[in-house]
Structure 1
Amino acid sequence: MTKASMTRWLALGLALAFAAPSAQAQQAPIKLGELNSYARWAAFTVPYRSGWQMALDEINAKGGVLGRKLEIVSRDDGATTGDATRVADELVNREGVSLLFGSFQSNVGVAMADYANQKKILYIAAEPLTDAITMAQGNRYTFRIRPSNFMQVGMLVDQAKASGAKRWAIVAPNYEYGQSAAEVFKRLIKERVPGAEIVAEQYPALGKIEAGATVSALEQAKPDGIFNVLFGPDLTQFVREGNTRGLFEDATVLSLLTGEPEWLLPLKDEVPEGWTVTGYPWDEIKEPKHKAFVDAYRAKFNETPRLGSLLGYMVVYMIRDAIELAGSVETEAMIKALEDTKFDTVIGPVTMRGIDNQATMGAWVGKLVLKGANGGMTDWSYMDGTPFMPTEAEVKAVRKD
């Protein structure tokens, strides 16, 4: 062997020797399991996925958590309870994820809460709104980020007091979310508005509304207030038919979620001005952290954020913080790290209340207004979720854990 060859072999050997420790130190990523209704509810879930992907990229660019990168294994849940539990089982048993998060529809969220309780694995519901997830079906393994139906309906009912409306009609999709929201409204409107009564209730099948028949039934009841829970294509058809027939004229309308860009943008110039709604006026929120999120999101995806975008971003950072606080991905340690912990988010501090595992995230409440060719929100304010949460006594009366 020549002197030059020996030098090359020596250099290669030294390089391998120095590389070995760093290779050994490289730890496997922390796997998180995510499932959602991407095919069925793309308007919300695709921006949500963009939000969590952006958070994931940022976290990993800074070294991950506990010296390990995060990896999200994502699956479509088929928008059914059966598919969701099957997919969850694959994520846990085949992929070896440390926790589960996601879900959109409330019935799927309830099924996932039951799965988490049976399998003793942490589940963080990012989007489902039914109260059952943290109340009657609540368990120590299930946590929720968004404000529940009880919280958001409470915010709207508080806004209705000054309207003077007493004869109320309800229109809601006929599944877990709509039924839950309607029951909360019937309770709260009677508690907080003396003399209020429910004069009509319409529950069209989700995604299959017959808008003409629904509007006609509400017209016949002659309500002076309408509580709407419809979203997606059902909402668009209902608004178009109601506008055409003058259903909303001289009526107070309270509407869950309608101010969220996912459901507001498809209405275009048909937006029903004056409705009091929960929503997300992303372009008018001036807090520096939120503005930085919006700027980064627009730069990365070349589009404006939706509420789903914000939720996806928030939930992954909250998971990151919980793992860091726990010091491991052991389930019991992460549960303890989540309970009663205050998280610093892009919309301000959010606490995960320990008695029901419900986050104190609030909602933006305001009125719909037409801005150019599209709708937006005006006279809005961010309402922190804490004052609208169920009392400790109410929680203890229904939770079984």
Structure 2
Amino acid sequence: METRLNFTQRRLLSAALLVYLTGIYSSALAQSSTQANIKIGEINSYSTMPQFTQPYRQGWQLAVEEINAAGGLLGRKVEVISRDDAGKPEEAVRHAVELRSREKVDILAGGFLSNVGLALADFAHKNKTVFIASEPLSDALVWEKGNRYTFRLRPSTYMQSAMLVEEAAKLPAKRWATIAPNYEYGQSAVASFKELLKAKRPDVEFVSEQWPALGKLDAGTTLQATMQSKPDAIFNVTFGSDLAKLVREGNQRGIFPKTPVVSLLSGEPEYLDVLKDETPKGWIVTGYPWDQIDTREHASFAANYYKRFNENPKVGSVVGYSTMQAIFAAIKKANSTDGEKLVTAFRGLKFSTPFGPAEFRALDQQSTMGAFVGKLEVRANKGTMTDWRYADGKAYMPSNAYVKARRPAEAMQ
């Protein structure tokens, strides 16, 4: 017997079917959203600064592999989408636009050169996107040009200069010369060193400043001009190929180690591996004596890094790994990838690094991650650090009043 449904029954059945199908679709959509990867957009100078950025890439790769092996974050896998800025601010911004608009990344990270970092920070501010500046060291990044969406991992030029000034002030030197690349990082480092050293030693004077273009140092001309001022000591901020040129020329002229040098970053393996037996003895530096650190956090990281990449870690490795550790900690704390919730989570955030615990100071969003300070020496025809100590970044941050005088008020809201 055929059963016919009247009009009302057909409408009720259709409505029930629609509700059922809508429920299935909503469930599938929610499941798809839950399973979507957490996306981190990463931008760095891979083609122009490979000696630092290749270990840096391996560091963040290790961190991502570890977090995903442990189940990911918020029930989702973590995915890093990386781009090469070729050391150009305009390229970095172009990639940031693409990563946000097409790839829909939840957060941005990276940067090596300070001018690139400042360009990315400006993008982050205008687009209300959280940006973790991994390596850029300029003080302006968190002070004059700071904003609520930008956080910096490594100790700044001010902090590392303060670490070095403790040692520089002990030298009998009164006449100082400076050699620094003529862009934001070099200018910031020299300004901080001069300010801090004069505060500790009012008797010092700066008799020469040399500003070679980044990557284009004429070592002979620079050193000749420097030594004409008869300095008692030199503050050096060059790095990479410029540092190698400066050291080689200075050694040949007999300037090093005769003239004391205080030098930013020169104790990092990225640069000592290039200098080898030309490493100038006695320079006071910030760096990373990876083979002499015996803390539990560092031993675990170094062992895992070697197992994964069959090489020992460099500073870049630590920075890349720590950048991701900070991001993971913030996402866990916020229980979200929402930008405003992440800003709140990052301010005052405590996180772990191979150097030990660190946190982002809420006032200027600067991390307390520290650096190692010591002297250069040559052992087994290779450069290394001796007489070193770990300088906790928290002890070298300026006062709240100092920061408030330099950081925009709206950046602290």
Task: Indicate the TM-score class for this superposition, using the shorter chain for normalisation.
Answer: over 0.9
Runs (4 or more) in structure 1 with deviation over 6 Å come to none
C-alpha distance after superposition, 1:61-84 (max 9, x if no partner): 110001000000000012111111
Please give the alpha-carbon distance, in whole angstroms, between the structure 1 residues aligned to 2:277 and 2:257. Answer: 17
Matches within 5 A, 1:232-381: 232-381=240-389
The letter of the residue matching 2:320 is: G
Question: Structure 1's 214 and 29: CA in aligned 2 closer, same or farther, altered over 3 A?
Answer: same
Q: Secondary structure at the match of 2:76?
A: coil
Check whether the contact 1:224–1:250 (CA below 8 A) recurs between aligned residues: no
Matching residue of 2:72: 64
Ranges in structure 1 where 5+ consecutive residues have no aligned partner? 1-19
Q: Residues 153-180 of structure 1, C-alpha deviation per residue, up to 9 Å, x if partnerless?
A: 0100111121111100000011110111
Q: Could you tell me which of 95, 108, 111 is aligned with 1:87?
A: 95
Determine the structure 2 residue equivalent to 1:36: 44
Deviations 1:123-154 (A, max 9, x none): 00000000000000001100000000000001
Q: Tell me if structure 1 keeps the 8 A contact 2:257–2:281.
A: no
1:165 to 170, 173, 197: 173
Cα deviations by residue, 1:1-40 (Å, 9 ceiling, x for unpaired): xxxxxxxxxxxxxxxxxxx99x947611101100000000
Determine if the alignment matches structure 1 residue 226 to structure 2 residue 234. Answer: yes
Q: Which residue pairs with 1:136 in the alignment? A: 144
Query: What's the counterpart of residue 187 of structure 1?
Result: 195
Whichever residue aligns with residue 271 of structure 1, its letter is: T
Contact 2:257 2:282 in 1 (8 A): no
Look at both structures and tell me which one has the larger radius of gyration over its CA atoms. Answer: 2
2:318–2:353: 8 Å Cα contact kept in structure 1? no
Match of 1:114 in 2: 122
The one-letter code sitting in structure 2 at the alignment partner of 1:256 is L
Q: Aligned to 1:137, what secondary structure does the other structure show?
A: coil
Instruction: List per-residue Cα deviations over 1:253-298 (Å, max 9, x = no partner).
Output: 1000000011111001000010000000111110112111101111
Q: What is the rounded CA distance, in whole Å, between the counterparts of 2:169 and 2:151 in structure 1? A: 32
AA in 1 matched with 2:325: Y
Alignment partners' CA distance in 2, 1:199 and 1:305? 38
Q: Given residue 264 of structure 1, which amino acid in structure 2 is its aligned partner?
A: L
Distance 2:108 2:349 in 1: 19
Q: Which residue of 2 aligns with 1:5?
A: none
In structure 2, relative to structure 1, the CA distance for the partners of 1:322 and 1:174 (3 Å cut) is same
SS of the residue corresponding to residue 169 of structure 2 reads: helix
Q: Secondary structure of 2:360's partner?
A: strand
| Preserved contact between residue 101 and residue 125 of structure 1 (Cα < 8 Å) | yes
How many Å separate the matches in 1 of 2:57 and 2:94? 21
Quick one: which of 367, 384, 404 aligns to 1:396?
Answer: 404
What is the one-letter code of the residue matched to 1:362? G
**Structure 1: distance between partners of 2:128 and 2:384:** 43
Distance 1:104 1:246 in 2: 33
Q: Give the secondary-structure state (helix, strand or coil) at the position aligned to 1:55.
A: helix
Cα deviation for residue 88 of structure 1 reads 0.4
* Whole-angstrom distance in 2 between the partners of 1:293 and 1:140: 31
Q: Quick one: distance in 1 between partners of 2:360 and 2:105? A: 22
**Which of residues 197, 207, 216 is equivalent to 2:205?**
197
Query: What is the alpha-carbon distance in structure 2 between the residues aligned to residue 99 and residue 342 of structure 1?
Result: 18
Q: Distance in 2 between matches of 1:258 and 1:24?
A: 50
Residues of 2 paired with 1:390 and 1:118: CA distance? Answer: 27
Provide the C-alpha distance between the structure 2 equivalents of 1:288 and 1:386, rounded to a whole number of angstroms: 21
TM-score by length of 1: 0.93
Tell me the number of residue pairs that the alignment of Structure 1 and Structure 2 aligns: 381
Q: Is the 8 A contact 2:325 2:352 kept in 1?
A: no
Q: Which one-letter code corresponds to 1:140 in the other structure?
A: R
How much does 1:223 deviate? 0.7
State how far apart, in whole Å, the 1-side matches of 2:203 and 2:243 are. Answer: 29
Q: Following superposition of structure 1 onto structure 2, how do residues 149-164 of structure 1 map, counting pairs within 5 Å? A: 149-164=157-172
Asked if the contact 1:171/1:228 (under 8 Å) is kept, the reply is yes
Contact persistence 2:371–2:393 (CA under 8 A) = yes
Residues in 2 aligned to 1:141 and 1:270: alpha-carbon distance in whole angstroms: 42
Partner of residue 11, structure 1: none
Distance 2:398 2:145 in 1: 15
Contact 1:269 1:374 in 2 (8 A): yes
Paired residue for 2:132?
Answer: 124
**3-state SS in 2 of match to 1:117:** helix
Which residue of the partner structure matches residue 383 of structure 1? 391
